[in-house]
A and B are shown apart, each in its own frame.
Chain A
Amino acid sequence: MSDPALRTPFPERAGAALKDAFLQEALTIATTKFIDLRRESFAGFPQGEALRDRARAIKEATLQRLDAHLERLADNVERLGGVVHWATTADEAREIVLRLARERGVRMAVKSKSMATEEIDLNEALEHAGVTPVETDLGEYIIQLAHEKPSHIIAPAIHKTRGQVAELFSRELRGEFPADPEVLTAVARRALREKFLQADMGITGANFAVAETGTVVLVTNEGNGRMVTSLPRIHVALMGIEKVIPSMSDLVVFLAILARSATGQKLSSYTTLVRGPRRAGELEGPEELHLILLDNGRSRQIASTLREALYCLRCGACLNVCPVYRQIGGHAYGHTYPGPIGILLTAMLKGNESVRELAHASTLCGACKDVCPVRIDIPRMLIELREHLDREKIAPWSERVAFRAFRRLLMSETAFRASTRAGRLLQTPFVRGGRLRGLPLLFARWTRTRDLPPVASRTFRERWKDLR
């Protein structure tokens, strides 16, 4: 674990987040707003449910023949004059970008919001190689100035209040700026315009890539995303291999539900379709287009437990409704992708060992599954993941022994009755006003904040003989 954030155990990271008053305020406001907007948007869109089914079916079918769709995409991108690179690992993907930058003398790269570039820690690699990365999405720009990581898939600076952003801008950009979003946006815009003119490379992710047409699709709410694809002389797009979709008619299905799920919009403010670099006679667009297809553990899961996580559109809806995410925010998870889907993606990208604790950071309430535009059964997959933790002996030894003992208890009425009697005896010193308080050991984890009902003086099965 190289990341210093991961040196603290997850429960402590979560505990610290609970005590952060700014974070709590920012999270409550933003997630509540996202939830309401999404709900209103789908309420006025009766065909939405059928489109969600359709979108899921497209993802399922595409993954069945992922290799063929990717090859078709690559052929079409190259036919249009683009260059396609295949990266098996995050290392390889970084190396491709760095090589392109090196060979073409790139000193500064402007970026559009991209979780894939976060996944491979591209900014750090660029800085190390002497290339200055500049985030141009407002949220990403904020966290880059603050030297932080995104804490939400679509709203990277969701953990900051506007007051905190004003302070940050005033300090980093030398000025006295009020906590007014319009003023702050104008400040960022002014600072970023200069960078756009200096940059030689534009780096984006991709929300979709259409195989039949070779189109790279970006869904954004800020025009800077589009400018990243068109102003610098080189455009590099990095996408996970699962982002390929077969056709333009499929794209229509996804566009109809993606923004609604994410922000409650019918469509995002910008839907940018990129087909190849600038062609002869065109006035705009980059001289070169490079598309990097990133595997990084994805193809391993196509026929495995985490398969459905490959359907994810990265809309963030599951984060907004998750009771755990809403309490602790994204950073406490400690990895690129937070929230319920993030636990699955982390297991996919970094292995099951990395989610030993996180796999249990869910109440399995199912709210995530309800809002997922492609109906990923996240709770079910978390349970499957936990099953792997036991089978691969990643779960703690003590826990595995305890659950086996619990099973034996449940397999015998005699043992069950005996344990009830034992509980009744052992609890006597802790009964106060008909409630259990201040229990020791593992039970303290409950009674520190909640009362526990005592084991009944007569359990139901003991009363049954009077009732029958």
Chain B
Amino acid sequence: MITCLGDVFFPEVGVAMVRLLRGLGVELDFPEAQTCCGMPLFNSGYHHDAAEVAARTVKLFERAEHVVVPSGSCAWMVKAEYPGLLKHDPALRAAAESLARRTRELSQFIVEVLGITRIESSFAGKVTYHDSCHLLRGLGESSSPRVLLRGVPGVELVELPGADQCCGFGGSFSVRLPEVSSAILDKKLANVESTGARCLVACDAGCLMQMGGGLTRRGSRVKAVHLAQVLAGEGDA
């Protein structure tokens, strides 16, 4: 599942994920009719609309054995909210529960389903990792991305002070209260720069858009990259 931001703004992340997973022996398909998980609608309170999008997505992925998402928040949306949104239709609800069970965020899929923790990648350098809120507190995942980063021979992982603190994106929050969102981001990026890392790694398109946008605007030498790009050996720190 390549959700809206990944499809439109970060296609290279999806491409990296495809190369990475194929290299690990996974057979892939991409249902081309997919658009977005519906989280922007859901989080702003448009639940009927989100339910329609959820029902559509559930059907599109009915036949997949596993569904891998390179974005913690979209994975959380599918796993935590789809069944509740579709609770009024027993058949759809059952399909949503099935999809929820089959869906994994990328790092979780590699570590838990494939059982792989060491990936040979040409990526080298000092990196730091930001815990995306929905992956960390929604899906309770903090170790898989770190385990995978440490497993790359040339990568040195330095812990980010306040790694578990929000980057200030928050979906529509980032444009409803842009000044507050940017002030939160400033604190995050000051922490990032204090690590001396050349790459900031995250597992969520939303956080990457926010933090990456802040980094280039301030002319920082630090690059924001997705975990898939590190593991697929694309670009260097």
Contact = CB atoms under 8 A, between A and B. Distances in A.
B8 A468 contact: no
Given A365-B170, A450-B185, A453-B10, A403 B46 contact: yes
Contacts of A416: 35
A11 B175 CA distance: 11
B38 A463 contact: no
Contact of B44 (A328, A367, A386, A409): A386
Contact of B11 (A328, A423, A459): A459
Nearest to A455: B8
B173 A452 contact: no
Interface in A364-383: 364-367, 369-370, 383
Contact of A468 (B30, B56, B184): B30
A364 B7 CA distance: 24
Contact of A365 (B9, B50, B137): B137
Contacts of B33: 413
Interface string A224-267: 00000000000000000000000000000000000000000000
A454 B35 CA distance: 18
B42 to A, nearest CB: 7
Interface stretch (B96-104, B193-201, B210-218): B210-218
A397 interface: no
B56 to A, nearest CB: 6
Tell me the dominant secondary structure on chain B's binding face.
helix
Given A416-B35, A460-B14, A14 B179 contact: yes
B183 A18 contact: yes
Nearest to B60: A413
Interface stretch (B117-125, B145-153, B161-169): B161-169
A454 B5 CA distance: 11
Interface residues of B, number: 64
A75 B93 CA distance: 48
B237 interface: no
A411 B166 contact: no
A407 B177 contact: no
A463 to B, nearest CB: 6
A449 to B, nearest CB: 4
A387 interface: yes
A464 B1 CA distance: 12
B41 interface: yes
A399 B44 CA distance: 10
A464 B180 contact: no
B175 A442 contact: yes
B183 to A, nearest CB: 5
A364 B15 contact: no
A445 B182 CA distance: 10
Interface string A426-452: 000000000101000010011011111
Given A323-B166, A446-B174, A387 B210 contact: no
Contact of A459 (B8, B44, B174): B8
B179 A410 contact: no
Given A366-B137, A407-B46, A327 B170 contact: no
A467 B232 CA distance: 15
A7 to B, nearest CB: 19
Contacts of A22: none
Interface residues of A, number: 65
B137 A453 contact: no
Contacts of B12: 456
Contacts of A390: 44-46
Tell me the dominant secondary structure on chain A's binding face.
helix
A350 interface: no
Contacts of A459: 7-8, 11
A409 B56 CA distance: 13
Interface in B72-96: none
Interface stretch (A48-56, A166-174, A355-363): A355-363
| A410, A437, A442, A461, most chain B CB atoms within 10 A | A410
Contact of A420 (B8, B15, B38, B174): B8
B49 A423 contact: no
B173 A362 contact: yes
Given A407-B52, A411-B56, A453 B179 contact: no
Nearest to B211: A450
B32 interface: yes
Given A327-B184, A366-B133, A406-B41, A450 B8 contact: no
Contacts of A102: none
A323 B165 contact: yes
Given A367-B166, A460-B15, A403 B30 contact: no
Given A411-B52, A449-B179, A461-B30, 12 more contacts: A11-B177, A359-B45, A360-B44, A366-B134, A386-B45, A390-B45, A407-B50, A409-B35, A437-B217, A446-B175, A449-B182, A461-B32
20 contacts: A18-B183, A324-B177, A360-B44, A365-B133, A365-B170, A399-B44, A403-B49, A409-B35, A410-B56, A411-B53, A435-B216, A445-B175, A448-B178, A450-B213, A450-B217, A452-B209, A456-B11, A456-B12, A459-B8, A460-B7
Top 5 A-B pairs ranked by shortest CB distance? A363-B170, A386-B45, A450-B213, A365-B166, A407-B49
